[in-house]
Amino acid sequence: MAVAHKGSISMGLVLIPIGMYKSTVDNDIHFNQLDKESKARIKYKKYCSHCNKEVTNADIIKGYEYEKDKYVIMTDEELEKIKTKKDKTIHIIQFAKISEVNMIYYEKDYYAVPDVGAEKAYELLRQSLMSQKKVAIAKTVMGTNEKLLVLYPTKEGIIVKTLFYADEITSMPKPVPKMKLDENELNMAKMLIENMTKPFSAEQFHDEYQEKLREAIMKKIQGQEIVAVDTAEPSNIIDLMEALQKSLELSNSPSGNRKITGTA
């Protein structure tokens, strides 16, 4: 696995060299865009409107538009020059309780893997955070962006979570009204939650739609017709109490958790 970012965790005077590796892999099916008539692949070319010609990556430089059609050029060397030694480290700013970081701020996750020789300092940080149920809040520059980070301890190692800044989070589109609830409905909803509660195991879940998509693609390759798999009529249940009651009945059935998704 290729390293996504190299740096050193800076905790006071302690430096812990690490590599950051992507924690996810893209397993989704991706479609190519084709011409409707010829079925040929659509390709996008990089084109200079002034020179009236196609350009390659070697011909492209970075420019910031400070006025209409006026650009200041920034080279990779110049961008590197403005980085301080602090910018090049993953410098810890503070520590905080895990519960204090709102989940809405989380952006991407990376595995933090210590370089050879840094394992002891890495483990010291991991165990210290775990024992106090805390995370480290840090910053570093990745590319041309200063990233706010959370160093999150786990049993296996440390996860580096990049965060959105507060000004990047939008507010709720509109306030959600707080309704006065019927006691019976609330109790029934709690019972439904209780009936459907069990320990979470990520291994039990997989992308079922992608499986159906792969199967449909194979059928098309073999010249078979795609047939609709869901012909059920929409539910006519509009009464909340009735919907809760039927959901509870289904949750008590052997395969209730699967059937409940079609209720209400």
Euclidean distance between CA atoms 68 and 48, whole angstroms: 17
Residues in contact with 60: Cβ distance below 8 Å, sequence separation at least 6, in sequence order:
46
Residue 87 in contact with residue 146, Cβ under 8 Å? yes
pLDDT at residue 263, rounded to an integer: 42
pLDDT of residue 251: 84
pTM of the model: 0.77
- In angstroms, the CA 140 to CA 92 distance is 9
Long-range contacts of 213-220 (CB under 8 A, 24+ apart): 213/29, 214/29, 217/29
| pLDDT 10s digits, 152-176 | 999 999 999 999 999 999 999 999 9
pLDDT tens-digit series, residues 189-234:
999 999 989 998 889 988 888 998 899 999 889 998 888 877 676 6
Question: 5-25+82-166 belongs to which CATH class?
Answer: mainly beta
pLDDT of amino acid 153: 97
What are the boundaries of each domain within the chain? 5-25+82-166, 183-262
CB burial class (10 A; 0-12, 13-18, 19+) of residue 157? middle
Start-to-end Cα distance in the chain:
45
Residues found in the chain: 264
Cβ contact 109:160 at 8 Å: yes
Task: Say which amino acid occupies 245.
Answer: Q
